[in-house]
Structure 1
Amino acid sequence: MRIGELARRAGVTTKAVRYYESVGLLDAPRLTNGYRDFDERDVRLVREISGLVALGVRAEQARPFVECLVAGNERGHDCPDSVTAYRDAIAELDERIGELSARRAALATLLESAGGCVECGRTD
């Protein structure tokens, strides 16, 4: 199948499919006319990748899940490296949450010093 059909069936854009391919998560053979030739396995891989991305896992971190599926496992997280990738993604999210919380607190302090009220939305 061509890239547009893959994207449609997996619920992503063709740009996303091209990106996944560019970072080595997909590797479709080319037909004599130069078009990529994706198959059902690729639909499953793209769905796995996009599902992870929707949860905040960077596409590059999806490699263990893709490799696990390609190896014939039923689920992308049936392999130890995938579990490690989950832990790494959670740690990154925790770090980002901490950074955002600190930035929010700093902004709230500035708002209060300017006479505003964070909880009531008052800015006068």
Structure 2
Amino acid sequence: MRIGELARRAGVSTRALRYYEQQGLLAARRTSNGYRQYDESDLKLVAEIRSLLTVGFTLEDARPFVECLRAGNGSGNACPESVEVYRRKLAEIDEQIRTLFGRRAEVAAQLAEACPGCALRTGGTT
């Protein structure tokens, strides 16, 4: 399939596909007239990349998952390198949560000081 069809089927822009190629995550074969040519396995790679990006991973984070799929595994998370990326990402998210809880406590304290009679609701609103 050509780049336009892959983009349509994957739900991404052709520009994104060219960028993935530039970053070494996607490898297009070229036809005799120079057009990029892709197959079903490329669709699976793009779906894996998009899935990871959607939940906050970077393109660099996606690299082990792509390499795992290219190695013939049925899933990008079947390799130890991918599992390690999951672990690192969870640690990053846990740290962000701790930071946000700390910030929330600081803002709640400032609110209590500014408005002693105001009740602080737990849903993020006052």
TM-score range, shorter chain: 0.7 to 0.9
- Deviation at 1:100? 1.9
* Greater shift in the superposed pair: 84-93 or 14-23: 14-23
The answer on 1:91 being equivalent to 2:88 is no
What is the number of residues matched between the two proteins?
122
| CA distance in 1: counterparts of 2:19 and 2:79, whole angstroms | 24
**Alpha carbons 1:25, 1:66 under 8 Å: kept:** yes
State the superposition RMSD in angstroms. 2.1
- Deviation at 1:81? 0.9
Aligned positions of 1:17-32 closer than 5 A: 17-32=17-32
Deviations 1:55-93 (A, max 9, x none): 222221011111111011111111111111111111111
Identical columns (%): 55
Report what 2:10 is aligned to: 10
**Alpha carbons 1:28, 1:38 under 8 Å: kept:** yes
- Deviation at 1:11? 2.6
Higher relative contact order structure (alpha carbons within 8 Å, sequence separation ≥ 6): 1
Q: Which runs of 4+ in 1 moved over 4 A?
A: none
**Alpha carbons 1:6, 1:43 under 8 Å: kept:** yes
| CA distance in 2: counterparts of 1:4 and 1:102, whole angstroms | 47
Unaligned runs of 5+ in 2: none
| CA distance in 2: counterparts of 1:78 and 1:40, whole angstroms | 19
- Deviation at 1:34? 4.3
